[in-house]
Structure 1
Amino acid sequence: MYSISSGVFYGVCSCFRNLASASSQLSCAFGSPNCFSPKGGLTINRLHANLTVSATQTQFSRNTSSCRRPTLARASIGQVVLVANFSTGIPNNMSIPNEVDPVVSSEWLHSHLSNPNVKVIDASWYMPGDNRNPFEEYKSCHVPGALFFDVDGVVDPTTSLPHMLPNETAFAAAVSALGIQNSDTVVVYDGKGIFSAARVWWMFRTFGHKDIFVLDGGLPDWRAKGYNVESSTSLDLLSKISKASEVVKKTYKGEQVGASSFRAVYQPDLVWSLEQVQANINDANRVLVDARSKARFEGTVPEPRKGIRGGHVPGSKCVPFNEVLRDGKTLLEKEVLRSKFEDAGVPLLSPIVASCGTGVTACILALALHRLGKNDVAVYDGSWTEWGGLSETPVATHSG
């Protein structure tokens, strides 16, 4: 039996990191959401002042052929009396993953899939050469209850550049149409493993939502673990998905789209523009890291998009996105990631901006760097499609 000694608590959350050890430490994250481990550890449920605190340790189901609710083992922790007279405003079954690691496992998602405050998004998007239709694939096979996020639909329609970041109002309208709120924990995945899901993870963070995570290994890992998938989509879900893209267009036309359930707060430090990249060539305030292949970076192969020059932004470094992934599906461990960046000449103590072809795989680098504790990595949204498509921007190649 473990107990919390009585006393005055001014914090909101108390969490145990190791319930199985008699020497477990009590730590507090004042004002933070419910504490718990995304690996299936401990959840501290908290409600209002004068409450009983209980610990819930998730035991993952050994039967991976179903997506049923996981078995829970409960241990009484004792009673905590709070003298403050307030409510946390957080649902007592809500669990927020570890803020440091930006990915969660299929086991974690499986054990939390029934939580109404956990929303799952299929953000699959493919290169034109893949000849794959992400929405059709979603309709025929997706994680139970998952929504579909259209990477080419929730965009800025005023630019010819592909899938550029929309404004605050449009993003909030689209996310609200999907039924997602600021209080939700969002898990995003794609059909490759880790690819376009990282882009949507970055979009949510750019608009102020921190409780956003990528499913490590994506749908391939989910299916490999034997978890259930849905092969049909309800009319309600289809309506939400369709409305999400429609409201984006309406907001740019100045039309009314109704009240938003999601409040977007733009984080400008996470997005870089053409002008900022141009100024950085001389100022060198940040290290620009390119996620394209080394051959494209060096300009020895043609760009896949017509009219785009080969090469790279002068002074930038190259870390191909596939090098931070294992078999293109799961994120590498911290020390291996650290070596990848250091070997490429990227000083991890310096501020970093990620770039790629169209702003998608740059977000994979941002995801990898987030795992290393760098949560302030910006993405050059226009990336090489914008830079290489202009005649006046300087271009470097392998020969300098």
Structure 2
Amino acid sequence: MAMSTDAVTADPSTSGSEPRWRLIGPGLIVAATGVGAIDLVATLIAGQKYGYALLWAVIVGCIMKVVLVEGAGRYSLASGNTIYEGWSSLGVWTHIYFVPYIVIWGFVYGAAAMAGTGLPLHSLFPVLSVTWWGILSGLIGLVLVWFGRYAVFEKVCAALVALMFVTMVGAALLTVPNLPDMAKGLIPTIPDGALINVLSVAGGVGGTITLAAYGYWLREKGWDTPQFMRVMRLDNRVAYTVTGIFVVSTLIVGAELLYSANIAVSTGDKGLLDLSGVLQDRYGTWAGKVFLVGFWAAAMSSLIGVWNGVSLMFADLVGHLRKLPQDDPERGLGGRWYKAYILWLTFPPMIMMFLGKPVWLILAYGVLGAFFMPFLAITLLWILNSDRVPREWRNHWWSNLLLSLTTLAFVALALNELRKLIVE
């Protein structure tokens, strides 16, 4: 596995050589990559329907993702193996599930990601259609990650995260949040008919397949041994704290702008366009335009995060199946299979943007995707309680409890997604 040229040689969280905030990187990438437009709209609609009643679910969602990402990172650092090698050690059934999933997922996600970036750009600059803005964004993403420069990729992601964070937190502050109602929202309650919204809000806080990419980004950062365990945990906690503030801000905007005025927004990416219009009507054209920039930053950070991280996972998958050594360049950034998956994410999905989405492919994407988070949670429980990691880094009882509760939540979400696919 290729390593970044800026790799460090000791745990920087204890060396005092640089400020701790400068250490944050891989966690922020995995969190920001996972917070896409669909997740924001799910939170926005929760605020629109129930005010602050589901604020506690956002906090729970952050905790669940911290648990999962910490588990993935701990396995990578403690064992020296990638998450795919860990899955492979559990049996051939993991190949049977994950190989078709990553192929189908990449094709469908590529179209969705490009369309997601195209929507705000078209609203800001209508000289091009959503489709063509999306295609241009996909090509820009390809250029940014093609040469495998992790340090550059991390800086671009950090800039996009800063932009989306400032924009959404600014929008929340603009609405003047109702602090007493927010405090009540921290008490766990489930309004009538809101169970699915609770699961969607908690499950959508920052990531799906990109959670499993965390270990790969740790390795590219140069954090590849147990001595980096403390800084990995710091990185993870800070990243999901930032994500939590960002998603809470989205809920505030939904509660203050939409719930109080009884305004509904669309599902899917277009819900954020609707919100831009509401902000523009309430606070002026500038507010709507600034929000669209934040919308684009959220969509673009997800796009380039996937173009980099999931391509790394695919390169590792192929390298492992071909029995290449771990340090073979073909299993890292810039290798042949890494670039092949970037091309797969970028060009074939353009067909879907012009011709529409084949029903059978969307169905396969939905079914396989519904099972990924339970798959990740269950396999981490299995791996982290076995001799695949040294005893000192295995799960304690509290880790098992949190991972088990997280698994149950995602199994419930998966069953609901399957129900929707069958009904629809």
**TM-score range relative to shorter protein:** under 0.3
TM-score, normalised relative to structure 1: 0.26
Q: Specify which structure has the higher proportion of helix.
A: 2
Point out which structure has higher relative CO (alpha carbons under 8 A, 6+ apart). 2
**Higher gyration radius (CA):** 1
Q: Specify which structure has the higher proportion of strand.
A: 1
